[in-house]
Structure 1
């Protein structure tokens, strides 16, 4: 359990900063019930061969299990809602401290919570991109799951062609694909993420293992430009040695306490 002294110290750090950026990983989504690849019983555990290529590689290698794998993944996404950690980031934005969220998650939870500047390095599960004109469009949540349930109900073995046939057609007439980054594909919003990392005076490192690049390079960029790094994680990560402060625990438990302490500081200083 993180002490009140460390919570207050973290809040004082936040109060002294004016350009805060949050880098979030799978851990913050796990607190909303979305299983990570590395969880015990997760994808890497159940399908060690091919799992390093992500869910698409696993379904390609194990096409007979694809319906079960895909439905399990989608059920986790459908049940998930923003948790107190997501809402605390919204509070920080509304209070004028947080400038941007950089996330490796594709679940749209930061946007659902209410953050306005979200850079999704691995894309967004609800967004489709036209293969012809490049136009992107978010599909309404219920329609998205209806589309995939129809596909899965008819699926015997996984194939890109069959999955793509259920996706919407762009107004230009082009076919679309999910605007989520598969393993081996270039990440999205990299320039924006690097700009924010270089401009921030504090980066919050939240629920990331720090082993997936290029996202894992962003704290180093921030640090090299003079920013402080504060990490909240259930266990130390590959980034912990770079951080000025490490708070052991879940983002959804610790960050709201920091926000509460920050509000108390603002009241004392006449900021509220």
Structure 2
């Protein structure tokens, strides 16, 4: 894999990763795209090509046509269930094993980080594998399989929805507070596969920078840069992160 590394790894970054005690990582759709998952704004295909994602991911859309929204998320859940963690996910799990404290903050809803072995994961936008009641806003583990679409809450009879954050909804407050704390107290902060435009998650990188952390930005749209407190790496996470891990810990993948 090292022969295929997307970018050369600055030696200063290798040393920063090797010496970091408190690491925080923010990931976005880019790292999951390398597992074959379309990003949220990629063109829809098949039955869904006439819909914009924004028309299927709001509370208003669910109230207007709950069956349509449920079936779209069932389609996405199937795609995500078939996807496999890629070497970028595995490399982040390896970094976690070496750090004294490690917090992985993700905007993704696919659960791939956990499947790759990451343990301390904060899901800012929820997880598509979970379900909650639209009325009570509580998680629901099981319900009657009577063919209703969407199914109904066994407690109150309300409609069930995926446990994800829709447009117009706030991030889970406690989860974001934990993410903010991780950004404030880390000495190394990664921003991987995210545009850095979606607030409030985008602000975490700036919070970490102001608190004195070394910042690493890895995506396909940045200009390469290497300085003692900011590294910008242009390349795919699935090639770059494993190479970084190898160089930091002498061969470990």
Flag whether TM exceeds 0.5 (same fold). yes
Aligned match of 1:117: 120
Structure 1, unaligned stretches of length 5 or more?
152-161, 238-242, 267-272
Structure-2 residue corresponding to 1:240: none
SS in 2 for 1:136: coil
Counterpart in 2 of 1:226? 212
Gaps of 5+ in 2: 224-228
Q: Is 1:190 aligned to 2:173, yes or no?
A: no
* Aligned-residue offset at 1:179: 1.6
Matched-pair contact (CA < 8 Å) for 2:6–2:239: no
TM-score, normalised on structure 1?
A: 0.73
How far is the alpha carbon of 1:11 from its aligned partner? 1.4
In structure 2, C-alpha distance between the alignment counterparts of 1:198 and 1:47, rounded to whole Å: 43
The answer to which structure has the higher helix fraction is 1
CA distance in 1, matches of 2:134, 2:68: 28
The yes-or-no answer on 1:30 pairing with 2:33 is yes
Please state if 1:203 is matched with 2:206: no
Q: How does 1:60-99 map to 2 (within 5 A)?
A: 69-70=72-73, 72-96=75-99, 99=102
- After superposition, the C-alpha distances for 1:48-75 in whole angstroms (9 at most, x for unaligned) are 7x54455457788899986885564233
**TM-score, with normalisation over the residues of structure 2?**
0.78
The root-mean-square deviation of aligned C-alpha atoms, in Å, is: 3.4
Question: Does residue 162 of structure 2 align to residue 178 of structure 1?
Answer: yes
Deviations 1:170-224 (A, max 9, x none): 5xx6755422111111112111111111111111111001111110010011111
- Identify the residue that residue 245 of structure 1 maps to in structure 2: 231
1:19-76 deviation line (CA, Å, top 9, x unaligned): 011100001111111101233x348x9557x544554577888999868855642332
Seen in structure 2, the aligned counterparts of structure 1 residues 204 and 218 have a Cα distance that, compared at 3 Å, is: same
Q: Equivalences for 1:126-165 in 2 at 5 Å?
A: 126-130=129-133, 135-136=138-139, 162-165=149-152
In structure 2, the partner of 1:13 is 16
After TM superposition, give the deviation of residue 127 of structure 1 in Å.
Answer: 1.5
1:244 offset after TM fit, Å?
0.9
Q: Is the 8 A contact 1:35 1:76 kept in 2?
A: no
Q: Does 1:169 align with 2:163?
A: no
After the TM superposition, which parts of structure 1 deviate over 6 Å for at least 4 consecutive aligned residues? Answer: 57-68
Going from structure 1 to structure 2, the CA distance change for 1:90 and 1:2 (only over 3 Å counts) comes to same
SS in 2 for 1:258: helix
Structure 2 Cα separation of the partners of residues 245 and 221 of structure 1: 16
Task: Report if aligned partners of 2:130, 2:163 keep a CA contact under 8 Å in 1.
Answer: yes
- 1:53 and 1:183 in contact (8 A); partners too: no
Residue in 2 aligned with 1:103? 106
